[in-house]
A and B are shown apart, each in its own frame.
Chain A
Amino acid sequence: MAEALNERAEADVDQQLMSQYSQGDTSAFESLYQKHKGGLYRYFVRQIGDLQLAEDLYQETWGRVIKAASSYETSAKFTTWLYRIAHNLLIDHVRAVKPVDLFSEAFTEEQDADSLLPSDTQAPDTQFEEGVKAKLLKHCISLLPTVQKEALLLNMEGGFTAGGIAEVVGISLEATKSRIRYANQSLKACVMNKWQEVENER
């Protein structure tokens, strides 16, 4: 309940900042940008293997926000609007052209195992374990189907619930929930398997 209220207050702040910017207050835009730049940036970078293309799309998204600031409807939640623009750009520029090749393949099986091997100088076991699992998760995320990966990033970076994700992506709530469940299950299984491999190598 408190989380929902907090979320609502955040949305109100975003809308206020946006309306202030549309009235000519550049500092309002700066606040808005600082608040959302990291999440949006990672939304692109973690889905697209090409960093340059990811940055171009990121810049294009903010360019569209700036251009459409005067016509921004306060009834729409700002983050929903922002990520919908990003999603549409991603569809237009990446998926329609090269659906497979451009997506992140940051890790190969060989790289993964080597880079995750423990060194003797590392921190205590629990901290070490979390660090390794975080790296394993990154690898596992790259293996997820595109739609599940997007659902995860929208949840983690944008803070969207299943309903919000459905609104941004333009699919049904049930389909979104299904994607989240499958992604959750796949990631957990993938990380545990990889962790087991690491343990075995130790």
Chain B
Amino acid sequence: MKDENADKPAEFDAEIKLWYRAQAQETPSAELDDAIMSLAKSANQSKKADNLVVVDNSFWRRHRWPISSAASVMFVATLLLINQDETQELLSDESYAPVMMQMEADAQESELPVTLRKSEPRAMMSAPSVDEQQVQLQGAAQNEVIQVDVISEVAKDVSLQGRNADVKAKIKSLSDSKPIKTMPQRDAVVSAKQAVNHLESLVKQEQWVEAEKLVLKIRKNYPQLKNEDHPQHLRWKTLSEQVIIPLPKPSVPASDK
């Protein structure tokens, strides 16, 4: 249905406007005016009072996210710098070894001869696999040093005591032979008991060459086995005698007498 007034202008007639203006114009009372004005003034004053505490414009509040982020980064970086060693250990393969192994290694380390421990820095002990080759090389060098020491010691004894041909041959074979196959540094760390056990197993298998090498090594590395109070002393003595024929006591030449 079409609006019949649609074509007419949407405003009131001038006559109606005139009559409307001719009406009495009501206005609010003075009390009402005062009440509203006092409300406006009090609102303005309270707004001024509120403005005294400028919280929103605070520097720290405005930049709270960047500042807190920077502080967090600084804190973490400081922690990492302070605990650098621990971090490296955590990141290394060593951290995956069982706890018992670590404890055992510590115990074994305490039994190592001082020379060996000194020559093997802590950093090398816990070095990651990346440096393993280097560690092995150092271990090989160390073993060679040990080997040479043993040989020189034996040779010294021979020269003094006039060793027999059998012993000479053994020494010769030792000196001619290649150095002991190098083992990783970690494998070298064994207790005296373990070394004796290993020696016993070699004797049982009649691997005399290896057994001899081991005896010499044990003699060098575990001097405490010579002590009669040592729990492994008897075993060590028996086994070593089986492997290496004891050298005859040097005979004093008649001329010296």
Contacts and interface: CB of A to CB of B under 8 A. Distances in A.
Contacts of B39: 62-63, 66
A72 to B, nearest CB: 13
Nearest to A29: B40
Given A152-B12, A188-B15, A138 B37 contact: no
A134 B23 contact: yes
B11 A185 contact: no
A38 B44 CA distance: 23
Given A137-B19, A137-B20, A180-B11, A37 B47 contact: no
B36 A33 contact: yes
B5 A131 contact: no
User: Per DSSP, are chain A's interface residues mostly helix, strand or loop, or mixed?
Assistant: helix
Contact of A38 (B12, B27, B37): B27
A9 interface: no
Interface in A60-76: 62-63, 66-67, 69-70
Interface in A30-54: 30, 33, 37-38, 41-42, 45-46
A42 B26 contact: yes
B12 A41 contact: no
A183 B3 CA distance: 14
Interface string B33-55: 10111011101100110000000
A63 B42 CA distance: 11
A67 B8 CA distance: 42
Contacts of B18: 130
Interface residues of A, number: 46
A181 B28 contact: no
B16 A187 contact: yes
A88 interface: no
Contact of B26 (A33, A45, A162, A191): A45
A37 B10 CA distance: 26
B32 interface: yes
Contact of B41 (A26, A42, A70, A177): A26
A70 B50 CA distance: 13
Interface of A: 21, 24, 26, 29-30, 33, 37-38, 41-42, 45-46, 55, 58-59, 62-63, 66-67, 69-70, 130-131, 133-138, 152, 155-156, 161-162, 176-178, 180-185, 187-188, 191
22 contacts: A21-B40, A21-B44, A26-B40, A26-B44, A29-B37, A33-B33, A33-B36, A41-B26, A59-B36, A62-B36, A66-B39, A67-B43, A70-B47, A130-B19, A133-B22, A134-B19, A137-B16, A155-B12, A162-B10, A177-B10, A182-B5, A184-B11
